[in-house]
């Protein structure tokens, strides 16, 4: 059995990133930042997803278009590109765009774990809020970018996409972690309005959070997204009323069109997670305040003693 080996250890601004090969499954690699797992990649089975929340998002991606149909997908936060690899495996040649704050981390991941040849993935290096806020043409834009600004390999060496490539996204994954915390500037009503403006009319947005009872942060996020999108659903691994439940991932889906995971909840597989929508979601949100740039908070810190 091969010994567990570190593929790389990289010092970033205020953080330490590591990519480690699994001892038991040599084709699996885990990316962590400051000791917090961020992504798990299987190089031989990119559709084999490790974490439940990623499985939920992947199933929503599956439902966003007919099987095999190209789907312009935007990833805010790259990690080890787990979902980009999934989209390429299930919808080969789909145009994809990544917004990533750490060029050195992105380049190291791509060097260690290349994507398949021919994958149409571009990257914008920069702060997701700044990219979202940038002006872009509205009139006459195409439903997807007509051609890649740069192939993935070129992007890793410095050739990048531009903010005008992020238009008419059909699926957007918001996974913007600063190690274990999401900063409020990429979780506010103003930010989500910009994400909505860059989405297709039937586009779906999936926001990955980490929270626990009483889910104050998640309820505020659901309230905020409900002011921007017509349809919102929350998927919880934990029992929403269990006051001793653990800190766990919460995924919020939003769109201006009815959500397929609500119409077909069997998409989420078994065991079925808790899904809140409609009146049940409104009851759960209750009096939670929306988050704005002026009245927002960072996400709960998983190192806070309250979660012990």
* Selection from 75, 247, 61, 63 nearest residue 176 by Cα: 75
What contacts 127, CB < 8 A, 6 or more positions away? Answer: 101
| 266, part of any domain | yes
Number of structural domains found in the chain: 1
Whether 100 and 79 have beta carbons less than 8 Å apart is answered as no
| 7, part of any domain | no
Whether 229 and 254 have beta carbons less than 8 Å apart is answered as yes
pLDDT score recorded for residue 15: 83
CA distances from 21 to 40, 76, 109 (A): 10, 25, 12
| Domain that residue 224 falls in | 46-307
| 30, part of any domain | no
pLDDT tens for the chain, residues 1 to 308: 344 467 888 888 788 899 999 988 889 999 988 888 888 999 999 999 999 999 999 999 999 999 999 999 999 998 999 999 999 999 999 999 999 999 999 999 999 999 988 899 999 999 999 999 998 755 433 334 433 334 333 344 334 678 888 999 999 999 998 878 999 999 999 999 999 999 999 999 999 999 988 999 999 999 999 999 999 999 998 788 777 667 889 999 999 999 999 999 888 887 788 999 999 999 999 999 999 999 999 998 887 766 65
pLDDT score recorded for residue 243: 73
CATH number at residue 170: 3.40.50.150
Token digits of residue 258: 């009815």
Distance, CA of 212 to CA of 291 (rounded, Å):
18
Q: Reading across the β-sheet that carries 169-174, which strands appear in turn?
A: 121-125, 96-100, 73-76, 169-174, 199-211, 248-255, 231-236, 274-277
| 209, part of any domain | yes
Token digits of residue 15: 């953080």
pLDDT score recorded for residue 115: 93
């Amino acid at each position: 059995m091969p010994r567990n080996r570190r593929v790389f250890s990289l010092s970033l601004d205020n953080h330490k990133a590591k990519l480690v090969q699994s001892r038991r499954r040599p084709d699996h690699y885990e990316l962590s930042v400051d000791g917090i797992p961020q992504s798990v990649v299987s190089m031989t089975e990119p559709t084999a997803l490790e974490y439940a929340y990623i499985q939920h998002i992947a199933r929503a991606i599956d439902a966003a278009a007919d099987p095999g149909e190209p789907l312009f997908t935007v990833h805010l936060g790259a990690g080890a590109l787990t979902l980009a690899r999934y989209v390429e495996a299930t919808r080969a040649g789909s145009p994809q765009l990544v917004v990533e704050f750490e060029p050195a981390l992105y380049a190291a991941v791509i060097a260690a774990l290349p994507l398949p040849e021919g994958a149409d993935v571009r990257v914008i290096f920069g702060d997701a809020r700044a990219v979202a806020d940038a002006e872009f043409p509205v009139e006459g834009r195409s439903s997807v970018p007509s051609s890649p600004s740069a192939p993935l390999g070129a992007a890793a060496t410095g050739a990048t996409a531009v903010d005008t490539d992020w238009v008419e996204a059909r699926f957007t994954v918001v996974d913007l972690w600063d190690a274990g915390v999401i900063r409020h500037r990429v979780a506010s009503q103003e930010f989500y309005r910009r994400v909505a403006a860059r989405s297709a009319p039937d586009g779906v947005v999936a926001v990955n959070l980490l929270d626990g009872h009483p889910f104050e942060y998640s309820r505020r996020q659901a309230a905020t997204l409900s002011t921007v999108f017509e349809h919102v659903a929350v998927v919880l691994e934990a029992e929403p009323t269990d006051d001793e439940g653990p800190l766990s991932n919460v995924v919020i889906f939003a769109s201006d069109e009815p959500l397929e995971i609500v119409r077909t909840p069997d998409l989420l597989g078994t065991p079925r997670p808790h899904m809140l929508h409609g009146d049940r979601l409104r009851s759960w949100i209750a009096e939670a305040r929306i988050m704005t740039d002026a009245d927002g908070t960072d996400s709960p810190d998983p190192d806070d003693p309250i979660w012990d």
